[in-house]
A = this chain, B = another copy of it.
Amino acid sequence: MAKLDTFVMKIALIQQNFYKSKKKTIKKTILAIKKASKNNAKLIVLQELHQTQYFCQSEDVNNFDLASSWEEDKIFWSKVAKKYKVVLVTSLFEKRATGLYHNSAVVFEKDGSIAGIYRKMHIPDDPGFYEKFYFTPGDLGFKPIKTSVGTLGVLVCWDQWYPEAARIMTLSGADILIYPTAIGWFRADSKEEKRKQLEAWIAVQRGHAIANTLPVVTVNRVGFEKDQSGQLDGIKFWGNSFVFDAQGKLLVQGSSKKEQLLYCDIDMKKSENIRRWWPFLRDRRVECYKKISKRYID
């Protein structure tokens, strides 16, 4: 066999707490980005809605104020990406128009330009995760974002439970799947139930890595955040940010308890090798998949 290309890239995952204010939280994020850049990370991934608290624990119209800085936020993170010369995956609260909001991942090129935007497509709505109140489901589809470090299949949190999203990103040329995330436990659940939830969350994404022969990078919040409305206890975000390689091998996994700046070397060309031996894309029965576009096959 001819020697295949490799392209090993260092990426950084910033798993962090919320520090009671946007300003303080961002300060911590910037410190971590600075450090990661110094340590030669070329791609840095932040957690879901990393600027603020996870405000979707309750339905409060005042929280729409948090999106009012959308235009300035983009300029701010653009400068950060440029300053530290990194491709940066951010997760911002997008105000698209008055009364129209999205949960959007904005990817910045290392020169500060916007490489692309992904608007979260699958929006959850569960006690403590009232996202349908805040976010209109994305209308940009599952389009990977081209950058200088590869084509990034950026998806967000709840998307991670949907094989369809990972597959369409793959078919559209993604070199890697990336999920900024905010998921955690409720105190009331048993230890066993908590373990099952965490394991299922990791396992379903490992499945995407294997089925699509792509590395998967997921960055999750960590730390306890109170429900501001007082209706629920609050959420203990479970951290555990991770990277799987294109064969589903775990390369790194974060703590469930503390902030971490995690590094991982990914061979962005490994899929070439794996897919020669596991040619799943070759044998897809594309003429028989139409029913996936049905709500249910009654």
Contact = CB atoms under 8 A, between A and B. Distances in A.
Interface of A: 121-126, 137, 141-142, 158, 161-164, 166-168, 171-173, 196, 199-200, 203-208, 210-211, 247-249, 277-281, 283-297
Nearest to A169: B297
Given A248-B203, A280-B161, A292 B171 contact: yes
B211 A162 contact: yes
Chain A contact residues, majority secondary structure? helix
A207 B211 contact: yes
Given A162-B280, A162-B284, A207-B208, 11 more contacts: A121-B285, A123-B283, A161-B210, A161-B278, A162-B285, A168-B288, A171-B297, A203-B207, A203-B210, A281-B296, A286-B294
Nearest to A288: B141
28 contacts: A121-B288, A122-B283, A122-B284, A122-B285, A124-B283, A125-B283, A126-B277, A126-B279, A158-B283, A161-B211, A162-B211, A162-B284, A162-B285, A163-B211, A164-B285, A168-B291, A168-B292, A168-B297, A173-B297, A199-B248, A199-B249, A200-B248, A200-B278, A204-B210, A286-B292, A286-B294, A286-B295, A292-B293
B286 A293 contact: yes
A164 B170 CA distance: 13
